[in-house]
Amino acid sequence: MKHYVTPLSNLVMSVNKEDTNLVRLGDYIELCDERNNDEEYTLDDIQGISTEKKFIPTKANLDGVSLTSYKVVHRDEFAYVSDTSRRGDKIALGLNTTNKPVLISSIYTTFRSIDTKKLLPEYLYLFLSRSEFDRLSRFNSWGSARETFDWSEFCRIQIPLPDIEIQQELVDTYNGLKALAEQNEALIKPLTEACQAYIVDCKKKHPEVELGGYIEEYDKRNSDKKIKAVKSVSVTKEFKETGAKVNKDELEGYKLVPPNHLSYVQTTKNEKCFANALNMTNETYVVTQVNKVIRSKDESKLNIGFLHLIFRGEEFDRYAIFNSWGSARETFDWSELCKVLIPLPPPEVQQAIVDIYNCAEEAKKIANDAREKMKNLCPALVQRAING
């Protein structure tokens, strides 16, 4: 599964060494106003525009609505919503990068680059995707009940305009990260589904055993207060930074969760699932004392990662909720957990399934890292274009 791991260091760029002049955007863009007069495009082509700077499926009820007045947005054309007053201090904008035209509401503004040999649409998109542009558009919006960032204000924007070759290099850098994120995101679902499918298959092919014979509770406390990594166990079945206010100098009562140990929340009513998390790092965590911490008695017989995959399934959520007891506080206690029947394939089969899951987790991490870098990349690229 190594093919999807692309080092971020491979994504390189260069910029002009000479000063980059700022230009008036209005000299390089123009309005476009093609309508769906012949009704060539249908309801399936209609899109909305989000503040995340992309086209999205519309939520509007369009039953009986004529589409002749709707605007057509072709490849490399932009659309934006001039009303900025009700969008959380962001402007809704999108660039059509596909070969399929989309339909948008007639109240939206559509425009394009006058000459793509001077201003690349994707380079302009990088500039317009920045949070700085959101702030600028809000500051320069006018009106009382409905503040708008109109076309005249849009045209007054000053942008850096490096050589077209440099624009392309900056765009390629952004697209490299985008492709990295998308490629890895595409792997997550099939790999995760494959894991669950293999577990179902194990239930058919291998004998089931009572879980209590293969796990044990681990109850060691942070008595010396050395461990400061406080975690919570989330309903997404992973460790997360705790949202509770805790004094990290007073954690002596917290339970230790060493590597390859699993912690779970006993209550199921509020969580609506069996919330659990496996420590897959080399670091020891601490969790609240109300959580349980468990481990495999013998990893050569039960791989704790394999058990975690069973716990991740929706079927196990339903089982845990059904077998939770209590009135105000329903809990899935230790005795009930020990009664659970699980399939126990050979160790090598368990490890193979865990390896597939680890590939999915690695893909998720790479995709998340790439997306996070993309957020910071737009302003960084534009700043490099300005500085030269």
- Beta strands 109-113 and 77-80 are antiparallel
Residues 180-197: tens digit of each pLDDT: 999 999 999 999 999 999
Q: Assign domain 21-161 to its CATH superfamily.
A: DNA methylase specificity domains (3.90.220.20)
Check: CB of residue 360 under 8 Å from CB of residue 187: yes
Q: Assign domain 207-344 to its CATH superfamily.
A: DNA methylase specificity domains (3.90.220.20)
Predicted pLDDT of residue 245? 83
Query: 363: burial class by Cβ within 10 Å (0-12, 13-18, 19+)?
Result: buried
- Sequence-distant (6+) residues with CB within 8 A of 124 are 25, 29, 78, 95, 113, 159
Torsion of Cα atoms, 121 then 126 then 128 then 130, to 10°: 180
Ranges of residues in the chain with a pLDDT under 50 are: 1-20
Residue 276 bridge partners (DSSP): 264
**Ordered DSSP codes for 1-59:** -GGG---GGG------SSPPPEEEGGGTEEE---B-TT--S-GGGBEEE-TTSSEEE--
- Distance in angstroms between the alpha carbons of the first and the last residue of the chain: 39
Rounded distance, CA 34 to CA 95, Å? 16
Q: Which of 138, 162, 144, 206 is nearest to 21 (CA)?
A: 162
Single-letter amino acid code for the residue at 103: L
Predicted pLDDT of residue 131? 84
Predicted pLDDT of residue 54? 93
Predicted pLDDT of residue 382? 67
Predicted pLDDT of residue 385? 66
Rounded distance, CA 139 to CA 34, Å? 30
Residue carrying the six token digits 């496996």: 278
SS3 of 109, please? Answer: strand
Q: Which of 68, 358, 8 is nearest to 191 (CA)?
A: 358
CA 255 to chain CA centroid, Å, is 30
Predicted pLDDT of residue 18? 42
